[in-house]
Chain A
Amino acid sequence: MGTATFKGGIHTYEGKELTQDKQTKVLMPKGELVYPMSQHIGAPAKSIVAKGDYVLMGQKIGEADGAISANVISAVSGTVKAVEPRLTSSGLMVESVIIENDNLYKPIEGLGEKRDYAKLSKEQIRSIIKESGIVGLGGAAFPTQVKLTPGDDSKIDTVIINAAECEPYLTSDYRMMLEEPEKIMNGLKIILKLFPNAKGIIGIEDNKPEAIKKLTELVNGEDKIEIKALKTKYPQGGERQLVYAVTGRKLNSTILPYQVGCVVNNVDTAIAIYMAVAESTPLMRRIVTVAGDAVKEPGNFNVKTGTNFREVLEAAGGLTEEPEKMISGGPMMGQALFSLDIPVSKTTSALLCFTKDYVADMEPSSCIRCGRCGYACPAQIIPQKMYICSQNNDAEGFIKLDGMECCECGCCTYVCPAKLSLTQSFRQMKRSILESRKK
């Protein structure tokens, strides 16, 4: 069986064995819940509650502001304690609604009501998704309803569910595939309802045979849905790599999937869509993998959005010893944390704690021109050359080398024997170029 893949990429230590066989546990928050108004790409939501207001579980507390924005939903009932800037995993202070949980979980009307999605119109489906505050849960956090509204529905011929989960350590998507495969399938069917000419493909890395088996059983009899095994390789779940592996179509930095007839959604996004459309439940939870050698009992947790990271760590038994490094998300693209006093947001995929930061112990040396960075680069550009441009602040040269095609996957930095911070320098370079273009 040929497994689909792309050129470049890396094989890392996977670290998934720590948590992949652990049943997801539901975590009930104890303290206050924090809802940043910006948990997505695009304009921040506007808070529509004020201090002292009482909110219900499932109630909208932040309203999408503009075309590309997303609602924010409270996962508990309780009183609004404050609306003020709070620290988020990005390291920035973001305007947030803080709710004192009354532990009653009083729902808004109609929460959890079953709906027959077969009877809903496309408009109804889209507006439910929009209302439910769903964003791409794979990490990009692009508002899902916008993604599902490409303009001409008939031009979409492939709906891809991204079940690659290529980041090391992360197993939250995998657990969902084992625990709630029907919801994924139904989520996909709902998306397919929007695109009459499309067929659905679920792409899974071949290091997850259990998940492939489970989903394949469910596909039985569906002629519009297909499971595709993908080679286990980072960044197989990157949008450009995935679309290529599944359809052979190549995206670049200026082309979005819908422009080549594809719509891509993450596994958990498909579940969120199903929950919203068929079970009237907006996006209020997140599956979080807690792992790393500093964690006592690594596992996966079903966490209400807004829950403090400390509580999540506690749920995993706390720390074995003082960590040197903590990361929100995976080790390849996640965010290093300097405080655990931050809330779980819609896109929090993991909390990783390590006793040793061996990256910090690696001294960078000179580039030896070994070429490894170029072989690993999925964008098929030459990081070694781009690095020279970025060191010299040569924006023009950087653009000429197609530096803007860098998707910041981190592969080049990972393989570089000279331990140069290639990705980081490209990130900065790209940002400054994009900023100067705006002016």
Chain B
Amino acid sequence: MNKLLNVSASPHTRSFATTTTIMQDVAIALVPASLFGIYNFGLRALLVILTCIATCLLTECVYEMAMKKPITTGDFSAVVTGLLLALNMPVSIPLWIPALGSIFAILVVKMLFGGVGQNFMNPALAARCFLLISFAGRMTDFTVSAVGASASSFDYVKSGAIALDGVSGATPLAALKAGETVSLLDMFLGNTGGTIGETSVIAILVGAVYLLIKKVISFRIPVAYLASFAVFVVLFGGKGLDTNFLLAHVCGGGLLLGAFFMATDYATSPITRKGQVVFGVLLGLLTAIFRIFGASAEGVSYAIIICNMLVPLIEKLTYPKAFGKETKANG
């Protein structure tokens, strides 16, 4: 034996999960929602998605090169950020807006705070809120300019228009707010207006189940979130136990996408089990308040961003009791 042996501290074995495999799993889980978005809104949706992902990767890479830091774009976290941001965009958005949002997400929200895991706000959501404030009109423009049936996909791309039958301009939440009823089936399939990734309940749930099975996320945050939201809507929504109203609220807008994919973001949600439940409950309350009493129909993004900032406090208050801490010796 003349090779130098590796002497290191125990344990000498590790699991095979890495940051990259986890982020890849999140990206995979977003594939159904992305595909549905593309199917429902046309190829332009794909263009928005690609723009976001590419800009995110590029921003991270350029920043790290400039700062002479190791390049981390291979870990897929920038891909996830880009994908999430794109899924939160209306399809008709001019491409420079998501590109700007991507730069903001990676540069300001992620890298300036120290990179992956260090940011205290979800980059994609922070970017979305930033864009909502800056370009309110365009960001909430879900109307569809009609394109003739003869138009080629290329035309859709160019004109930023969508032309699928059944996709209405108004989002389900806007419809609810106006007192109309919405078709639950349409919401399930994604035949409604909204951002690229939020409309199809089925697609989101397929991805969510994948994440739960792979144990990338736990059920604590999403279940606490949805449950507390539902309770609040029943109590204060003004419709009592109207199932159609309730389900439409739960399935409509960015709630499901937010609950499973954004509220569960590691960096910006509590690390303690109890804290995750508290976080979920708070999210449900805030989202319901925004939706019922707020001016806009949607409230998920703001609710999550606000709760992100409470995470350090929640973690402090919910730090677990160490095993056996309370035991007293008797002898």
Contact = CB atoms under 8 A, between A and B. Distances in A.
Interface stretch (B155-163, B231-239, B264-272): B264-272
B295 interface: no
Given A259-B331, A385-B271, A332 B323 contact: no
Contacts of B243: none
Contact of A325 (B12, B321, B324): B12
Nearest to A150: B331
B13 interface: yes
A155 interface: yes
A368 B267 contact: yes
Nearest to B118: A366
A91 B323 CA distance: 32
Interface string A404-416: 0100001001111
A48 interface: no
Contact of B22 (A13, A151, A370): A370
Contacts of A332: 10-13
B329 interface: yes
Given A151-B331, A252-B324, A261-B331, A331 B117 contact: no
B160 to A, nearest CB: 36
Given A337-B5, A415-B17, A378 B117 contact: no
B9 interface: yes
A251 B10 contact: no
Contact of B266 (A251, A337, A371, A414): A371
A368 B5 contact: no
Determine the interface band of chain A, counting residues with CB < 8 A from chain B.
35 or more
A232 interface: no
A244 B324 CA distance: 9
Residue of B77, B117, B323 with most partner-chain A CB within 10 A = B323
Contacts of B320: 374, 380-382
A323 B1 contact: yes
B330 interface: yes
Contacts of A415: 15, 17
B271 to A, nearest CB: 5
Interface string B31-75: 000000000000000000000000000000000000000001001
B125 to A, nearest CB: 16
A256 B327 CA distance: 11
B18 A417 contact: yes
A298 B22 CA distance: 35
B43 to A, nearest CB: 33
B271 A336 contact: no
Contacts of B323: 6-7, 240, 244, 250, 252, 378-381, 405
B151 interface: no
A402 interface: yes
B11 A260 contact: no
B6 A360 contact: yes
A371 B271 contact: yes
A194 interface: no
Given A336-B6, A370-B22, A417-B22, A380 B14 contact: no
B271 A414 contact: no
Contact of A419 (B2, B14, B330): B14
A358 B6 CA distance: 11
A385 B21 CA distance: 23
A67 interface: no
Nearest to B268: A369
A423 B266 contact: no
Residue of A249, A366, A372, A417 with most partner-chain B CB within 10 A = A417
Contacts of B77: 368
Contacts of A378: 323
Contact of A155 (B2, B17, B272, B331): B331
A203 interface: no
B19 interface: yes
A181 interface: no
Contacts of B12: 325, 327, 331-332, 334, 336, 357, 359
A259 B328 CA distance: 8
B127 to A, nearest CB: 19
Contacts of A252: 322-325, 327
A250 B22 contact: no
Contacts of B15: 10, 12, 414-415, 417
A329 B174 CA distance: 65
Contacts of A219: none
B116 interface: yes
A386 to B, nearest CB: 11
Given A155-B330, A369-B117, A401-B319, 18 more contacts: A6-B323, A250-B326, A251-B327, A255-B327, A255-B329, A259-B329, A259-B330, A322-B3, A323-B1, A324-B6, A331-B10, A336-B10, A365-B75, A375-B273, A378-B323, A379-B322, A410-B11, A417-B19
22 contacts: A6-B323, A7-B323, A12-B13, A252-B324, A254-B329, A255-B324, A256-B329, A260-B327, A260-B329, A260-B331, A322-B1, A332-B12, A333-B10, A365-B19, A368-B116, A369-B117, A369-B267, A378-B323, A381-B323, A382-B320, A417-B22, A421-B9
Interface of B: 1-3, 5-15, 17-19, 21-22, 72, 75, 77, 114-118, 266-267, 271-273, 315, 319-327, 329-331
